[in-house]
Amino acid sequence: MARLGSLTINPLTRGPKIDAEFRSSVNGVFVAGNLLRGVETADRCAIEGMKAGKSIARYLK
């Protein structure tokens, strides 16, 4: 999905490359959770999702 969407891929994780605000290389596309690194625990994904959600809210303002 990330490759088809033309997102830059992190060679270490083989997931999308993101910045500290969970922004990908495509404007308006944010990435968190299992799409970043494969299988993670639900609590870690939820925490990342909350942080990404805050970044998305700032982006939309």
pLDDT value at position 35? Answer: 85
Nearest to 20 by CA among 46, 61, 54, 60: 54
Give residue 2's Cα distance to chain centre: 10
Model pTM above 0.95: no
pLDDT value at position 39? Answer: 79
Instruction: Cite the beta strand spans of the chain per DSSP E.
Output: none
Measured CA to CA, the distance from residue 43 to residue 19 in angstroms comes to 21
Range of the domain at 54: 1-61
Residue predicted with more confidence, 2 or 49: 49
Number of folded domains that form the chain: 1
9: amino acid identity, one letter: I
23: amino acid identity, one letter: R
Encoding tokens for residue 60?
Answer: 């939309």
